[in-house]
Structure 1
């Protein structure tokens, strides 16, 4: 079986959660019995290279907006290459229409991971768009959307990261598509340093991620007012809301680190007692949640989106946008951190290890080949 993965970016370019996930997928498939060849085609440069044994061909840069332009460029470049594969796997969303069109033209089946909402008006998924994005949604995207969705509809099977993502797309133009939920896999190379700190009465809370409204960090900041003085919070990450959040915070109990090197992020997991993911939108998944669980931390999340499907303890799912509810779940997590941390480490190994997740992708490929 030969798989060609199509993605806008591939590490080391812009290595966020989506890029980390597609790299993990490519490298795990490269080692998987039953997969003869894995090639990656990305649009973030003009070189061909091998990364950890995976051939990566970068077919020049494409703009992000309007979506018709990058999809037209990607379609033409991929069609000229004519990838030697049995199945296309589209990843990281922005080029899914091009892959659907290419699949129909070359008569090669395709699957596509759903891990974002680029063709949906962001306000409909509780994300506050920028002025530029809002203008685009009201003009060009409104005109582009029907054609782009019709091209996406040529994809044989969609692979949403969570049932929440599936429901969003079923209600936004792809109601009759074939879906199979396949979550992100954990990174088996992820490690945190050993803790050198003795246990004290203080409780260190941790948030890792981008700082924008939809991430709900302001409610976590407000939740600190409901928690005893021994609770402290470290916020790792940057974004447009950082200045507002810093102004809102009680400075002596909340530390905003900004963006830090990956090595320092792993240390932050080691130093923490409870991880908090306070989002207020249907986030597709949340890779930091897997990392926190691998690190043996209890995870408090909100009862919305993919995170609510990942966190197994109902007591740790708070009401979105509710600081008091967050504080209640945080106190429960702190009081039961050792037990819950052990549960989480076992859960991620049982449900999100590559040995569990990769066979689901392999089965999806076989299914579209058999149709």
Structure 2
């Protein structure tokens, strides 16, 4: 029986909130249908409550504040210790399910470790210390830029530590490049990592998959029922998510089409700014900022919406909420950067990132044209077939076995 250890995602807030954590939960639960023994090590340990009881759980306390500041560096002792534990348990594969933990895994390989190590490239911490790769080009990154990115919106202590972290980050990247293989969650991610010096032959693209949605949860076009044309956004409220672009585009749309409503589900550091923007544009009656809610409760909003918008400003590695929206039959509008256009294909529209007029044009087309919405909606099943759970799990197993044979 194959033994696999997962070193789980690391949340910057020590809470189970992000798409990465949800992807890992779904992945583990799918693996349990196979004859595989699974060990789970999580940082923090609250993901342990989200998975099947048959998983062998190795608990940890939540990370300290200092560990959360620079996890590629501060987690190295933990990662080394935990991979050694996995080795003693007879694990053949250790899947590091977050880029932040890859430096410790790389040091394990440098010291002669025998366990096959695989890293999931689900953010850009392997090329950018801030993890978001907003500049989009490796030749723009230098010591000064790294210090600025790391110090932004940080406490005085972290601002003082930023130069040291920025200085050693190239060494951290060299450690991250020592794993046996990598799984990029989109072609966009693979392309960006290759441009930053990672070996193409060591990166396999295996996308996230979508949970099967019961027919009872499927969306109907609420505009057919005399309701409002409802636009939905689900995600974080950070500047690189582009929610301000969506609000500005919507303010233009609602002047032409008063029977529109925008729902924003999520939370983040820019919430106050978006609340002020909504008030300044006199949109309080037509925009609802819901805040953070449990994942299962989001389904209600997918059901009641007409379309879904993902207005990202950065090289988004994937976009799980896009898959979820399409699972409910929602046509999607996405910016033309990162993985979202790759996911949507012909089941949605694309606009120029950061351009609210371009986004407005897409929203206006969908609001006024039911036939267009239905045509995009009819393309969704074929798009979702690419993200079928069973197919995805088979890809994982083939890649694990390939690396085991190569080791």
2:106 aligns with 100
1:366 aligns with 401
- Which secondary structure state, in structure 1, belongs to the residue aligned with residue 107 of structure 2? helix
Deviations 1:271-330 (A, max 9, x none): 100000000100100111010000000010011011111011286011000111112222
Identify if the C-alpha distance between structure 1 residues 342 and 53 changes in structure 2 by more than 3 Å, giving closer, same or farther: farther
1:215 aligns with 241
1:115 aligns with 122
Distance 1:163 1:29 in 2: 24
Distance 1:137 1:308 in 2: 37
TM-score (norm 2): 0.81
Shift of 1:80: 4.4
Q: Which moved more, 1:47-56 or 1:231-240?
A: 47-56
Identify if the C-alpha distance between structure 1 residues 247 and 22 changes in structure 2 by more than 3 Å, giving closer, same or farther: same
Deviations 1:140-167 (A, max 9, x none): 3323323322222221111111122122
Shift of 1:48: 8.3
Distance 1:188 1:290 in 2: 11
2:144 aligns with none
Shift of 1:90: 0.9
Shift of 1:261: 3.2
Shift of 1:193: 3.5
1:161 aligns with 185
Shift of 1:76: 2.3
2:379 aligns with 343
TM-align CA RMSD: 2.9
Aligned to 1:286, which of 300, 319, 325?
Answer: 319
1:244 aligns with 273
Aligned to 2:228, which of 198, 202, 210?
Answer: 202
Q: Looking at secondary structure, tell me which structure has more helix per residue.
A: 2
Q: Check conservation: 2:3, 2:92, Cα contact below 8 A.
A: yes
Identify if the C-alpha distance between structure 1 residues 141 and 370 changes in structure 2 by more than 3 Å, giving closer, same or farther: same
Identify if the C-alpha distance between structure 1 residues 188 and 100 changes in structure 2 by more than 3 Å, giving closer, same or farther: farther
Aligned to 1:140, which of 161, 164, 169?
Answer: 164
Q: Which moved more, 1:235-244 or 1:12-21?
A: 12-21
Shift of 1:107: 1.2
Q: Check conservation: 2:5, 2:86, Cα contact below 8 A.
A: no
Shift of 1:73: 2.2
Q: Check conservation: 1:121, 1:137, Cα contact below 8 A.
A: no
Distance 2:46 2:261 in 1: 46
Within a 5 Å distance, the mapping from 1:19-38 to structure 2 comes to 19-32=21-34, 35-38=35-38
Identify if the C-alpha distance between structure 1 residues 6 and 355 changes in structure 2 by more than 3 Å, giving closer, same or farther: same
Q: Check conservation: 2:97, 2:120, Cα contact below 8 A.
A: yes
TM-score (norm 1): 0.89
Distance 1:329 1:94 in 2: 36
Distance 1:310 1:46 in 2: 30
Distance 1:48 1:316 in 2: 38
- Which secondary structure state, in structure 2, belongs to the residue aligned with residue 84 of structure 1? coil
Structure 2 residue runs without a partner (length 5+): 137-148
- Which secondary structure state, in structure 2, belongs to the residue aligned with residue 301 of structure 1? strand
Shift of 1:246: 1.9
